Amino acid sequence: MMRSLYSGVAGLKTHQIKMDVIGNNIANVNTVAYKSQSITFAELMYQTTQAASGPNAETGRAGINAKQIGLGVQSAAISTAISQQGSSQNTGNAFDLRISGDAFFVVNGGAGDKFTRDGSFYVDAVGNLAMSSNGYNVMGWQVDANGDIVQDNVSPLRILSAENMTSPPQVTSRANMSGIIDKMDPQVLGDGKIINLQIYDNLGYSYTARYSVQSTDEEGVYALTLEDLRDANNDSVLDKYDANIFTGTAYDPAAPGTEISRAKTYSLSDKWKISTDTSHGPMTIVGSSGSPVIDPATASATPDPDTGLSEQDRYAQAWGVKDWDTLKNMKFSYEDTSTDPPTEYKVDFMGLLDATSGSDGEKVRTHVLNAVNGTLESSGYTAAKGKTLTVAYDQISGALKSIGGNTGESFYMLIEPVAAGADNPFSMNSAQGDDKGAPGIQIFMNATSNVNNEKKSTISAVSGDTKGFGTGWAVGTMTGVSIQTDGKIFGAYDNGQTKLLGQLAFAKFANASGLEKEGDNLYSATMNSGEWDGIGVDVSADGGKVSTGILEMSNVDLSSEFTDLITTQRGFQANSRIITVSDTLLEELVNLKR
């Protein structure tokens, strides 16, 4: 049988395989991230009819080359242009991603990790990032409790989980006042220039602290007063809750942690003690004879027909409080004003202001009790402790000089949530920093000045320091998701915050061409591609990046494919002619018998 017949058959089969490769390439010309393939041919084994001989020095005859007859062609290798980037297609979809570089996305459909360049993703019903074509979960690294990425074994990226749909609130911890205090400003000279500061508590509720700046009798010294604290409904926290409002004196950076005041706050007990020490006796109101006028333990709740006040209400008003219920729910501070052992306590009902006002501003009633029998020894009005700070400015430079008599650039306003179930949402005291375990708002004033501004003061207050830290915020609802070039995924919220949700992990192989195609735009690792460690790499580690709203298209070059199509067709035709001619020769051989 003629060898050329089989060579032609081998040629037909091999060119048919090449046509299959070309056809697959053209079919996938618009497949996302498809990598074109190419085939190379190799000649088949040769039949040696005469071996080669070497030169013979004795006879002088030269050597003779071997006589070999080839047996056709075979497909040597089918290669994938894995490292050749496809063109870009803009989609505008935030979850469509394109890799620049030689990395692969890591996905998992339940049967082990697979790899793909197809970045057309979506978010499924439970918030997982997944492939649009087959639902495989996109794998990556998770965020720890501190908000940092942990580069460990990859796991599904559940970016739109229930906990990620909202951003937790943050209490305000810093604020700053800036602008000019003009001493000729009519407001400063009058009732005071009003300053509003919006703050947030630890639950995300917003409040407005209302300050005033007013001139004093001393040149360059102004009274900074906390006038009120209002909630989001513009209701006064003072009026609604009889809250205690305190502000601390200046914070000296050179002596952090120093207590400004040792005042303590306690709720009144059922027996109306000023201390937990039972030996102090009840808080009774006494007359000039020293005998009790009203004993709260036996005070009647029945209103008097003439005044409409019960003994309990009269008792409360004797302490400067409007009624019995207010007294029961209020807090008060005390400090030891005697030597050891204590003999008396000074009790200030802070924030429960008497209507009387004078040149010293708002007043509070001060009472001194005997520590042994609890009798009232003196009573009077003093300036509201802690509500007003003096702010002094250098009259040469106009710069801030001191706050509350202390050199420093800031003061503290402490907001301390009370126990669960209490009526009072705030208790502000004069302790500095976190001395009493309270979240303090440090308010900087170094950006204020006391200079001429045509009788107009511009001083104002905003939450956060000059660098924007410590502003505080309410609970936020997710408004969008963005993916950075390094694969980190962030959620954006309507409270202005962002949150790191996770990071895409990528796979890189020593021989990416050694990956095995599995269909659905997926690859799997083989012995010749290199191992997958289960952790992956950061795509930006070697200069790669991820682009959003863009997909990588097929890298098939139609001009090359159609050229190969022509040469393959001609090769197939030529090999078919070999078979035809060989058949004719065989026919002539058979005809010799006739």
Cα separation, 369 vs 444, whole angstroms: 38
Q: Which residue, 200, 463, 427, 222, is CA-closest to 331?
A: 427
Identify the weakest region by mean pLDDT among 233-247, 392-406, 490-504, 509-523.
Answer: 233-247
DSSP state letters, 226-241: EEEEEETTS-BHHHHH
pLDDT tens digits, one per residue of 447-460: 999 999 999 999 99
Model pLDDT, residue 489: 94
Q: Residue 491: enclosing H or E segment and its boundaries? A: strand 488-493
Using a pLDDT cut of 70, give the percent of the chain over it.
Answer: 73
Tokens at 302, concatenated? 């029945």
- CA 158-474-446 angle, 5° bins: 125
Long-range contacts formed by 254-259: CB under 8 A, 24+ apart: 256/433, 257/432, 257/433, 257/435, 258/432, 259/431, 259/432, 259/435
Q: What pLDDT sits at residue 316?
A: 66
Q: How does residue 321 score in pLDDT terms, banded at 50, 70 and 90? A: low
Between CA 130 and CA 120 the distance in angstroms is 9
Q: Identify which has the larger pLDDT, 85 or 297.
A: 85
Separation CA 201–CA 474 (nearest Å): 8
d(CA 214, CA 434): 29
Mapped onto helix, strand or coil, the DSSP state of residue 594 is coil
pLDDT score of 183: 94
Q: Kindly report the backbone phi and psi dihedral angles of residue 330, in degrees, each rounded to the nearest multiple of 5, phi listed first.
A: -85, 170
Paired sense of beta strands 174-180 and 440-449, if any: parallel
| Cα–Cα distance for residue pair 456/462, rounded to 1 Å | 19
Q: Is the pLDDT of residue 271 over 70?
A: no
Average pLDDT (49-57) is: 82
Report the distance separating Cα 132 and Cα 93, nearest Å: 12
Q: Which of 239-243, 321-325, 509-513 has the lowest mean pLDDT?
A: 239-243
pLDDT attached to residue 295? 57
Res 253: pLDDT: 36
CA distance readout (Å), 275 to 343, 377, 378, 417, 507: 13, 17, 18, 21, 67
Task: Specify the range with the lowest mean pLDDT, choosing from 199-203, 220-224, 238-242, 313-317.
Answer: 238-242
Query: Average of pLDDT values for 470-475?
Result: 88
Contact status, residue 364 vs residue 355, Cβ threshold 8 Å: no
**pLDDT (tens digit per residue) in 517-556:** 988 899 999 999 888 999 999 998 888 899 999 999 999 9
- The CA distances from residue 358 to 26, 362, 363, 383, 416, in Å, are 93, 7, 8, 10, 30
Nearest to 110 by CA among 123, 128, 122: 128
User: What is the pLDDT at residue 72?
Assistant: 83
Six-digit token string for 206: 């917003």
Mean pLDDT of all residues in 284-294: 42
**Direct distance between the N- and C-terminal alpha carbons of the chain, in angstroms, rounded to an integer:** 20
Q: Give the CA distances from residue 487 to residues 17, 85, 129, 410, 551, in Å, rounded to whole numbers and listed in that order.
A: 40, 19, 13, 41, 15
3-state secondary structure 314-353: HHHHHCCCCCHHHHHHCEEEEEECCCCCCCEEEEECCCCC
Residue with tokens 């660098």: 467
Strongest mean pLDDT among 255-269, 271-285, 331-345: 331-345
Q: Peptide bond before 341: cis, by omega within 30 degrees of 0?
A: yes
Q: What is the pLDDT of residue 241?
A: 40
pLDDT-derived band at 329 (thresholds 50, 70, 90) equals low
Distance from C-alpha of 373 to C-alpha of 343, rounded to nearest angstrom: 10
Q: What is the crossing angle of helices 558-591 and 3-27, to 10°?
A: 160
Question: Is 60 exceeded by the pLDDT of residue 401?
Answer: yes
For residue 136, the 8-state DSSP code is P
The Cα–Cα gap between 364 and 367 comes to 10
Angle in degrees, CA 413, 417, 419, rounded to 5: 150
Residue 143 token pair:
């965020």
pLDDT class of 390 with cuts at 50, 70, 90: confident
Structure tokens at 440: 């303090």
Average pLDDT over every residue of 339-344: 44
How far apart CA 471 and CA 170 sit, in angstroms, is 8
Average pLDDT over residues 120-147: 92
What radius of gyration do the chain's Cα atoms show? 44
Calculate the alpha carbon distances from 293 to 310, 319, 371, 376 in Å: 13, 13, 18, 11
- Average pLDDT over every residue of 23-51: 87
**Rounded Cα distance, 354 and 236, in Å:** 16
Q: DSSP letters of 51-106?
A: --B--BTTTTBPPB--EEEE--EEEEEEEE-TTSPPPEEE---TTBEEEESS-EEE
Structure-token pair, residue 118: 């197809």
